[in-house]
Amino acid sequence: MNEALKRELKDFAYEIRIACLEELKALGFGHVGGSLSIADTLAVLYGSVMNIDPKNPLWPERDKLVCSKGHAGPAVYATLALKGYFPKDMLLTLNKPGTSLPSHCDRNKTPGVDMTTGSLGQGTSLAVGLALGDRLKGRPNRVFLISGDGELDEGQTWEAAMFASAKKVANLVWFVDENKKQLDGPTAEILPQGDLAAKFAAFGFDTQRIPGNDVEAVYEAIERTKSVADKPHAIILDTIKGAGVKAVEETASNHSMTAKGDVFDSWIAAVKADRDAFRAQ
């Protein structure tokens, strides 16, 4: 990965976080932690990796994203707006009456959303089906799936993994956002999951574990998937819930947060300060 692309993607991740916080501020609450933790992965996918056309969001041969942890929709929406799928000011309508940006991702409402998700676990099966269907139709695209680590408590996720491996759905890249928290607390306390990379490998996946809030690591991991042609791919993202905003990172219950406008302003200012310092380097 060259330095220019690395800087471009890191800058894009800052912009995603800022736009995401601005839309959540307009609502006054929302899924802050799990949205921020996947900003870097979204920056890499939409900033460099995915073959997409914002002017033609239903292009059949496009690469597709399934955000199975649909409550992280604010981060997806921020990314789509920044890429030009819809006007950025639409972000301020998040989860409000008549909005095209509902609480969870909905392909029937939001331009650029490829699959309706939010009932945890179901997006994994849907992504496998999308990828298999595209392969059977001879399309060259890939399907990128993002699920949460707490979501892997759902048995359906492992049924999807078993099927993807059995059918050698090699055009599937499955990211697990291992931010170590779920709605009710730390995953280690609720249902310890062990070594997720080893589990996916045991299910027959080409598997990597990487620093998930590092755009270079994410990019290089996706590049490595191209060298394995007969297996689905799993990339375990070792992330921090609320990554990029220290005050959110340090909040124990940061799955969904309610905050006043001035608090959101302080978070936005912190990200902007980090972005400006980065740009000045």
- Summarised one tens digit per residue, pLDDT across range 37-88 is 999 999 999 999 999 999 999 999 999 999 999 999 999 999 999 999 999 9
- The 3-state secondary structure of 87-120 reads CHHHHHHCCCCCCCCCCCCCCCCCCCCCCCCCCC
- Summarised one tens digit per residue, pLDDT across range 203-240 is 999 999 999 999 999 999 999 999 999 999 999 999 99
Place of tokens 């972000």: 91
Quickly state the pLDDT bin for 145 (edges 50, 70, 90).
very high
Residue 236 DSSP symbol: E
pLDDT value of residue 98: 94
Q: What's the mean pLDDT in 19-45?
A: 97
Mean pLDDT for the chain overall = 97
Give the predicted TM-score (pTM) of the model: 0.97
pLDDT value of residue 131: 98
Quickly state the pLDDT bin for 24 (edges 50, 70, 90).
very high
Element holding 66 (H helix, E strand): strand 64-67
List, in order of start, the domains of the chain with CATH numbers: 3-279 (3.40.50.970)
Element holding 182 (H helix, E strand): strand 181-182
Q: Which two tokens stand for residue 60?
A: 């059949």
Element holding 8 (H helix, E strand): helix 3-27
Q: What's the mean pLDDT in 264-270?
A: 98
pLDDT value of residue 118: 87
Question: Kind of pairing, strands 233-238 and 172-178?
Answer: parallel
User: In angstroms, how far apart are the furthest CA atoms of the chain?
Assistant: 51
